[in-house]
Amino acid sequence: MKKKMAIFGAVLAVLIAVLIFVVNYQNNQKTADNPYGKETLDQATIDQLDDPMYQNQVTPDELKEQINSGEPTTVYFYSPTCIHCQRTTPVVVPMVQELGIDMKKLNLLEFESLWNEYEIEGTPTIVHYENGEETARISGEQSVDAFDEFFHQEVLKDAPDKPEE
């Protein structure tokens, strides 16, 4: 009986090892050439790599450069593990696409040091910058109307060539 248990245990250990190898291999394939410029990513981020809702990612250096250029910049600070972000993303991403807003996304799970640098108190947070300065911010899970008002009054206010609803 002990011999059968030992064989069963050995087979189980080999199966677990093979499973770990396969998952790691698949994750390594997915993370090659990722938009974060990092070799290792949190599993929640890996799970979103192919999701169209989470494209248009920006790295910290790219964001700093864009803001410092003075160009109007809208940034969606989020975390893949945030339940409020998971409910907000499907609302705001189609909205900004329809409005013609180039909203950059910054994953705070991958760049935790940016919470303090950009004074983010919770996710999701959308911040709009003009001339290198923050001009507007909306935080938390909000109604569709609240996001619509934010984008029209704060982001599109000086852009008459942007489509209106």
pLDDT in tens, 71-108: 999 999 999 999 999 999 999 999 999 999 999 999 99
User: pLDDT digit string (tens) for 101-118?
Assistant: 999 999 999 999 999 999
The Cα-based distances of 24 to 21, 66, 143 in angstroms read 5, 34, 39
- Gap between the Cα atoms of 80 and 107, Å rounded: 7
The two tokens of residue 31 are: 């993370």
Determine the 3-state secondary structure of 7 from DSSP.
helix
- CA 66 to chain CA centroid, Å, is 17
H-only helix segments in 59-143 = 60-68, 83-99, 114-117
What is the overall mean pLDDT for the chain?
88
Peptide bond into 124 cis (omega under 30): yes
The CA distance from 134 to 112, in Å, is 20
Residue 165: what pLDDT?
44
Give the residue from 72, 97, 73, 91 showing the smallest Cα distance to 140. 91
Q: Among 39-53, 54-68, 83-97, 149-163, whose mean pLDDT is lowest?
A: 149-163
Residues 87, 78: Cα–Cα separation, whole Å? 11
pLDDT per position as a tens digit, 131-158: 999 999 999 999 999 999 999 999 998 6
